[in-house]
Amino acid sequence: MILRERLREPRILLAPGIYDALGALLAAQAGFEALYLSGASIAYTRLGRPDIGLVTASEVENTLANIRERVALPIIVDADTGFGNALNAQRTVRMLERAAGGHLAIQIEDQTLPKRCGHLDGKTLVVAAEMVGKLKAVLDARRDPQTLVIARTDALAVEGIEAAFERAEHYLDAGADVLFIEALRSEDQMQAALTRFAGRVPLLANMVEGGKTPLLPAARLQALGFAIAIFPGGLARALAYAAREYFSLLHRDGSTDACRARMLDFDGLNAVIGTPDMLALGRRYDKETP
Domains and CATH numbers, the chain: 3-234 (3.20.20.60), 240-283 (no CATH)
Q: Is the Cβ–Cβ distance between 181 and 193 less than 8 Å?
A: yes
Instruction: Determine if the pTM surpasses 0.85.
Output: yes
Read off the pLDDT band of 1 (50, 70, 90): confident
76, exposed or middle or buried, with CB in 10 Å at 0-12, 13-18, 19+?
buried
Mean pLDDT, residues 60-68 taken together: 98
290 pLDDT higher than 70: no
Read off the pLDDT band of 289 (50, 70, 90): low
288 pLDDT higher than 80: no
146, exposed or middle or buried, with CB in 10 Å at 0-12, 13-18, 19+?
middle
End-to-end CA distance of the chain: 47
35-37 and 13-18 strand pairing: parallel
Q: How far is CA 102 from CA 8, 88, 167, in A?
A: 19, 21, 29
Determine the Cα–Cα distance for residues 212 and 161; give it in Å rounded to an integer.
14
% of residues, the chain, pLDDT over 90: 97
Q: What is the chain's mean pLDDT, rounded?
A: 97
Q: Is the Cβ–Cβ distance between 165 and 181 less than 8 Å?
A: yes
Determine the Cα–Cα distance for residues 127 and 113; give it in Å rounded to an integer.
13
Hey, is 80 helix, strand or coil?
coil
Count other Cβ atoms within 10 Å, centred on residue 20: 17
Mean pLDDT, residues 167-171 taken together: 98
Read off the pLDDT band of 145 (50, 70, 90): very high
> pLDDT tens across 68-83, in order?
999 999 999 999 999 9
